Amino acid sequence: MVMEFFRGGADKELEQIEQTIQQMLVDCRHTFDVAINALLGGTDPDLVKKDIKKTDRQVNKAEREVRRELVVHASVRGAQADIPMVLVSMSIVKDAERIGDYAKNIFDIAREGVDMSHDEDLDQLIAHRDRVSRLIAETARIFGERDIEAAHQILQTEDENLDEYDALVVAQIESGRPAREAVPRALLYRYFKRITAHAMNVLTSLVMPIDRLDYYDEDKADRW
C-alpha cells in the first residue's frame, strides 16, 4: 500500500518525517490524557494548562516542520521525489495534528467548569477514555512499526465504535438531562468520535491506496 516502499532502503529524509509523525501521535496522546483527566479525574485545569499549551506548540511545530521538509524534498528531488509519499505525509500529518486539537477541545469543556469526576456514569466515561487513549498509543506504535495486520484489525473494530459514538450523542439529545449535563457529554462523545476517525485515517496509510486516504472522515453511507 502507499507506505510500503519504506521497506528496503527508504529515503532517510522521509524516514525522519515518519518518525516525526509518530512522535506527534505520542504527544497528542499525552495531551488527551491530561485533558480528559481534568474533566473526569478532578484535576484542576489551571494546574495542567501550561502543560497542554506546551505540548500543543510541540505538535504544531512538528506539523510545520514536516510540511516544510516535504516541500523541500519534492523541490530538490524533482522527478526523483517519492510523490505518493509526499502526498500521504501531507494528509496524515494533518490527521495527527487534529487529534491534538480535539484533545484541547476536551480540555476546553473542563475549563468552562464542567467536572464529571463524581457523576453516576463516570465508569462508562472512563471506559471510553481508556479506549481512546489506547487507540492513540496503538496508532503511534502501529504506524512506527508498519504493522499492517494490526492496522487492519483496529480499523475493523474502531469502525463499529464510530457508530456507537453517534448513538451516544443522539442519546444525550434525547435524554432530557439539563443542558449543563447533556451538552458537555454530547460534545465529549463527538470528540471521542473525531479522535477515533483521525487515528483511523493515519492507519489507512498502511493499508489503503492513496485515493482512499481520509476514508473514515466519511459516513458509512457516503463511502465508495
How would you classify residue 81: left for phi > 0, otherwise alpha for psi between -120 and 50, otherwise beta? beta
Structural domain total, the chain? 1
CA dist 174 and 200 (Å) reads 29
pLDDT at 5: 41
Which residue range(s) make up the domain with 213? 12-222
163 has a pLDDT exceeding 60:
yes
CA angle 116, 178, 126 (to 5 degrees): 25
In a domain? residue 188 = yes
Whether 1 is in a domain gets the answer no
Element (H, E) at 23: helix 12-40
- 187 inside domain: yes
Residue 152 has pLDDT above 60, yes or no: yes
| pLDDT, mean over the chain | 87
Rounded average pLDDT over 54-83 = 83
> With bands split at pLDDT 50, 70 and 90, how would you rate the model's confidence at 53?
very high
The predicted-structure confidence for 172-212, as pLDDT tens digits, reads as follows: 999 999 999 999 999 999 999 999 999 999 998 888 655 55
Set of cell numbers at residue 173 = 439529545
Cell of 118: 463524581
What is the pLDDT at residue 210?
56
- Give the CATH number for residue 170: 1.20.58.220
* pTM above threshold 0.85: yes
Q: Nearest CA to 58 among 31, 35, 34?
A: 31
* In-domain check, residue 6: no
